[in-house]
Amino acid sequence: MDLATRVGGSIKKEDVQSAVDRYEKYHVCFGGEEETRKANYSDMVNKYYDLATSFYEYGWGQSFHFAPRWKGESLGESIKRHEHFIALQLGLKPGMKVLDVGSGIGGPLREIARFSLTSITGINNNEYQISRGEELNRLAGLSHSCNFVKADFLKMPFSDNEFDGIYAFDALCHAPDPVACYREICRVLRPGQCFAASEWFMTDHFDPNNQSHQKIKAEIELGNGLPDIKTTRECLDALKLAGFEVVWARDLAVGSPIPWYSPLDVNRFSITSFRLTAFGRGITRAMVKALEFVRIAPAGSARVSSFLETAAEGVVEGGRKEIFTPIHFFLARKPLSRS
């Protein structure tokens, strides 16, 4: 019932269906163009998260990202371990001031704050996610150490050299201009300190001239509110152009004992991730349609569920073909010579 009543986020319930229409038209699958998505990225991403956040939280939890996974480890355990890994890579210590770029509803923010005893600010441009995150901070007893700021991460309202560490999970893929995004992160980071991220990219196996590869890319962009998924090479080049020194980078999907996409693979069954299995997704689909029919869920809810399933199919196929990764990690340092 929580899922049904929260669909649409801050969008008025009677406007959800028209918001779905406008969102879909940004994407290739519905005749949209990349330049239009880039020019209107803020509107597109806001509509996406208003529409999709309740589905994410229902099916995945409070941390909206993937993680490399070990045998014997649940999805939730792998996600927490990945968050601890980022904190350790940044060398976070009590008293440090940290920024989470594209913080969602704050799952990683709360976990890393508890793990590292740091104060963390999450920047997010979606009003609904911030209100939900603030509620979850209060319920976790972390309102004193965790907060959110509503802003565009290309125009952050922070002073130069303000933060001791910055990280991002599966968020910067929404930026239309990676160099501008990384440059803004570099600006607010103290010299000598680090920026770590686990992000979505097309791998070296992606062939832009392959129609099958392009179809998978378009499905991922539609289902995840992305203007254009960059390649790992473009990412590293953009970091350097923005003024960072790349300490190390690696696709953590390579060599992961359990494929990162396994929770979304309809050929697998899991009790701990039941809602993500084919049967669990079928139940969710039927439930959303029924609740929309009786007008508990707003009109358009089933279409949101549908494009999220399309995204899941694209993500899994991209993982199987090794042309896409959502866990490419990099650690970059701001040189001491930069002001």
Q: Give the pLDDT confidence score for residue 278 in this predicted structure.
A: 60
Enter the pTM of the model.
Answer: 0.88
- Cβ proximity of 159 and 80 under 8 Å: no
Tens digit of pLDDT for each residue in 173-186? 999 999 999 999 99
Q: Give the pLDDT confidence score for residue 209 in this predicted structure.
A: 97
Say yes or no to pLDDT of 272 above 90: no
167, 173, 238 from 180: Cα distances, Å:
16, 13, 9
Q: Give the pLDDT confidence score for residue 24 in this predicted structure.
A: 79
User: Among 76-90, 142-156, 172-186, 219-233, where is mean pLDDT lowest?
Assistant: 219-233
40, 126, 289, 333 from 43: Cα distances, Å:
6, 10, 26, 31
Q: How confident is the model at residue 291 (pLDDT cuts 50, 70, 90)?
A: low
Q: Give the pLDDT confidence score for residue 101 in this predicted structure.
A: 98
Q: Give the pLDDT confidence score for residue 133 in this predicted structure.
A: 95
Q: Give the pLDDT confidence score for residue 339 in this predicted structure.
A: 47
> Can you give the C-alpha Rg of the chain in angstroms?
19
- Cβ proximity of 65 and 169 under 8 Å: yes
Tens digit of pLDDT for each residue in 29-41? 777 888 888 888 7
Q: Give the pLDDT confidence score for residue 126 in this predicted structure.
A: 92
Q: Give the pLDDT confidence score for residue 5 in this predicted structure.
A: 46
Q: What percent of the chain has pLDDT over 90?
A: 63
Torsion angle, CA of 100/104/105/107, rounded to 10 degrees?
Answer: -60
